[in-house]
């Protein structure tokens, strides 16, 4: 989310309060709403760390370093959480204050835990899917069958599903697009589900609604696009609600918490003692693909990993049938 340098420089309204300026800049650069919430929380924590006595614009790299070190030493946050806080503060100084942090930030680093991903084997997956039903089961099948991240599944649009080519187009982290496979066993169920979503959208249009969120630049260029069927979410919310930014009444996608709870509940009922989350299903997809002989570079593309080293972690948890391996000594005539 930090690759915003190519965008036109935007100056927030100086008459606004600091956090209003932060929101203004975030929305100008089309940051996701969840990112807006996260960055705002970290900026507020940074301000409160200095007891609101000094305006952040009067602080600098050394103060940012001190705050991040506090997170690692006193708060014991993870490395990813500390990096998230750093990203928020880099944004604040660079894009809101127009004062990029010139010095290299070198705080005390949170220790990275070399945890291997939790994966489910074939028998565990069978037990798991016996205890999850309805739309949540369909979503879980996409996580496991296509390797989707939780929010990638939740944010799927109707036009992203290509039934003819058995593919799903994903808008992943950093707005990077990729294609992944659409498993044959889920095709019929997904078709029926999307037909119901189309009917729901038709009813919304009949009652004067039917808009869905689309990127602002696209909405300006194609004002009618937000009401088109192809832009609707594959997994829409049951109820319409006010958009937190614009105030418009729209049908948003389902809350991710519903699927998270359903996955946790199904794993418990299935008697699986591992810590199972939505991401566990994605990990299990990657591991199973490697075990089935998928080239690791191909898997990297399916998973949307920027670095193949991220994909390589699954080689440490895949089943390796040592009995099928032959020693190089066997090829020598000695």
Q: Which residues are catalytic?
A: 149, 173, 279, 282, 305, 314
| Dist. CA 47–CA 55, nearest whole Å | 8
- In whole angstroms, give the CA distance from residue 27 to residue 29: 5
Burial 56-67 (b: 16+ CB within 10 A, else e): beebebebbbeb
The 8-class DSSP code of residue 56 comes to G
What is the rounded CA–CA span in Å between residue 176 and residue 184?
A: 25
Please check whether residue 4 is in contact with residue 95, taking contact to mean a CB–CB distance below 8 angstroms.
Answer: yes
Question: CA-CA distance, 141 to 180, in Å (whole number)?
Answer: 14
For residue 106, what are its two tokens?
A: 């070198």
* Cα separation, 312 vs 303, whole angstroms: 12
Going by the DSSP 8-state scheme, the letter that residue 245 receives in this structure is T
């Amino acid at each position: 989310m930090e690759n915003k340098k190519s965008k036109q420089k935007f100056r927030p309204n100086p008459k606004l309060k600091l956090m209003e300026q932060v929101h203004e800049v975030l929305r100008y650069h089309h940051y996701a709403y969840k990112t807006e919430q996260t960055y705002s929380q970290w900026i507020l924590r940074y301000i409160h760390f200095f007891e609101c006595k000094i305006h952040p614009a009067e602080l600098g790299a050394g103060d940012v370093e001190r705050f991040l070190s506090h997170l690692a030493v006193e708060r014991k946050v993870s490395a990813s959480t500390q990096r998230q806080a750093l990203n928020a503060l880099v944004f604040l100084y660079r894009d809101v204050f127009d004062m990029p942090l010139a010095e290299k930030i070198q705080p005390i680093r949170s220790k990275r835990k070399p945890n291997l991903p939790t994966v489910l084997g074939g028998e565990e997956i069978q037990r798991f899917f016996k205890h999850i039903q309805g739309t949540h089961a369909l979503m879980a099948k996409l996580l496991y069958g296509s390797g989707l991240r939780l929010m990638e599944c939740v944010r799927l649009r109707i036009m992203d599903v290509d039934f003819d080519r058995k593919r799903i187009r994903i808008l992943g982290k950093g707005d990077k697009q990729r294609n992944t496979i659409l498993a044959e066993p889920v095709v019929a169920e997904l078709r029926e589900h999307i037909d119901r979503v189309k009917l729901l959208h038709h009813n919304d249009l009949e009652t004067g609604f039917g808009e869905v969120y689309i990127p602002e630049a696209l909405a300006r260029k194609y004002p009618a696009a937000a009401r088109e069927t192809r832009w609707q979410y594959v997994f829409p919310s049951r109820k319409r609600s006010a958009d937190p930014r614009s105030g418009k009444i729209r049908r948003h996608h389902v809350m991710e918490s519903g699927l998270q709870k359903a996955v946790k509940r199904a794993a418990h009922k299935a008697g699986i003692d591992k810590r199972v989350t939505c991401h566990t299903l994605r990990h299990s997809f990657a591991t199973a693909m490697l075990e089935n002989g998928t080239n690791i570079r191909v898997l990297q593309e399916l998973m949307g990993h920027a670095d193949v080293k991220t994909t390589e972690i699954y080689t440490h948890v895949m089943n390796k049938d040592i009995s099928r391996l032959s020693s190089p000594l066997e090829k020598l005539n000695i």
